[in-house]
Amino acid sequence: MKTGLLITAFLVFYSLIHLGRYLPDLYNGHFSLVDERSYDVRFFELFTDILVSFLFTLSTYLALYFFYPAKKYFLLGAALLAAFVTCFVINYMAAWLTAPEPLRLSRFFRGQVLYQAFYTIFAMVFYFLRYAQYTELQQRELAIQNRDSELSFLRSQINPHFLFNNLNNIYSMVYHKSDQSLAAISGLSELLRYMLYDTSETISLEKEIHYIEKYIALEQLRFEIPSQLNFSYPEDAAQIQLPPLLLIPFIENAFKHGGVAFDHTWLDIDIRISPDQEIILRCTNDVAPKRKDQTGGIGIGNVRKRLALLYPGSHHLHIEQQEHTFKVELSLESRK
């Protein structure tokens, strides 16, 4: 609870209430600043009125603060009644000490009920405004936590998915006693180190490109001769930021489902930075006939979900599958 904000709002409201009290006299020309009472009496009355009014406002606010969220409505009503009685008694005793003549309790009660009703309404409005702000903030924090949890889960899916595919490749190399087996294990170790220990929210595009190069080199070790592909990218990409492991699933998908060829270029990867600092990825690969993952892939679907969470309304993903060609075009805002 921010007491300072409550005090400031109360003082403004108190001034407006008492200004409104004298408006009829000002309008009719009967208002006068002449007061025959001593300054001590007038100051004591003003101080007491402000103090009691604030205590009633504060007690109303605290009653709502402690009992309303917990839905303890009976205790809330009892606390409000106790606050009203206590503040009324204090105010009556203070007025009795400064009044030039005996006060009639019924008349004083009728006069105070209206003002205390104003402060009750003020305290309730102030509380519910603060409660609405607090609830909205909680909902935002919960949404952020859910978003971060989902992103962590999606990213965690990439590691076993990637590991499963490459262990199969390395197993095949070892089984066939390929000379590239040790190099493949070393390359896989380097890539896993990047995936497991780089937990940053964003990395440079340069680092992601380096990771893609390592992945392509690891995939090429499966073949006796390298397959034909093109990979073009900007030389100066150190200042451009993006979430890690966002582009690699498209390249992994191409190697997994594509028609790898050695006599012509079967895969074309183009990464560029537009003049307005957008990251653009174009990936086109041949499609291998009757080559379909029997276990089902999560790469592309994973990226779609991550993009929806990380770039809502600020990315464009277009995937086009033809009879012999699979095309991906992704554009998203860079992060500096």
- Of residues 329 and 104, more confidently modeled: 329
Query: Which of 95-99, 136-140, 243-247, 264-268 shows the lowest per-residue confidence on average (mean pLDDT)?
Result: 95-99
pLDDT at 262 over 80: yes
pLDDT at residue 155 above 70? no
**DSSP, residue by residue, 12-81:** HHHHHHHHHHHHHHHHHT-------S-HHHHHHHHHHHHHHHHHHHHHHHHHHHHHTTTT-HHHHHHHHH
Q: Give 3-state DSSP helix, strand, coil % of the chain, rounded to 5.
A: 60, 15, 25
How far does the chain reach from its first CA to its final CA, in angstroms? 37
Place of tokens 């990979």: 231
Residue 301: its pLDDT value, please? Answer: 80
User: In Å, how far are 212, 224, 264 from 268, measured between CA atoms?
Assistant: 13, 21, 11
Q: Answer whether 228's CB lies under 8 Å from 266's CB.
A: yes
pLDDT of residue 298: 57
The answer to pTM > 0.95 is no
For CATH 3.30.565.10, list the domain ranges present in the chain.
146-333
Tens of pLDDT, residues 187-217: 888 777 776 666 677 889 998 898 899 889 8
**Burial status of residue 246 (CB atoms within 10 A of its CB: 0-12, 13-18, 19 or more):** buried
Q: What is the pLDDT of residue 102?
A: 64
As a three-state string, the secondary structure of 87-141 is HHHHHHHHHHHHCCCCCCHHHHHHHHHHHHHHHHHHHHHHHHHHHHHHHHHHHHH
Identify the CA nearest to 286 among candidates 336, 225, 228. Answer: 228
Q: Specify the pLDDT at position 31.
A: 45
Averaged pLDDT, 8-23: 74
Predicted pLDDT at 294 = 41
pLDDT over threshold 70, residue 143:
no
DSSP code of 331?
E
Residue the block writes with tokens 């990936």? 283
Residue in 232, 235, 238 with CA at minimum distance from that of residue 206? 238
| CA atoms in the 13 A half-sphere facing the CB of 10 | 25
**SS3 assignment, position 318:** strand
Kindly state the DSSP code that residue 228 receives in the 8-state scheme. Answer: P
- Class (C level, CATH) for 146-333: alpha beta
> Both tokens of residue 68?
């309303």
* 194-198, 233-237, 285-289, 294-298: range with lowest mean pLDDT: 294-298
Higher-pLDDT residue of 253, 232: 232
What are the distances in angstroms from CA 132 to CA 67, 126, 129, 136? 16, 10, 5, 6
Q: What are phi and psi of 297, to 5 degrees?
A: -100, 155
**Mean of the per-residue pLDDT values for the chain?**
78
pLDDT band at 269 (very low <50, low <70, confident <90, very high): very high
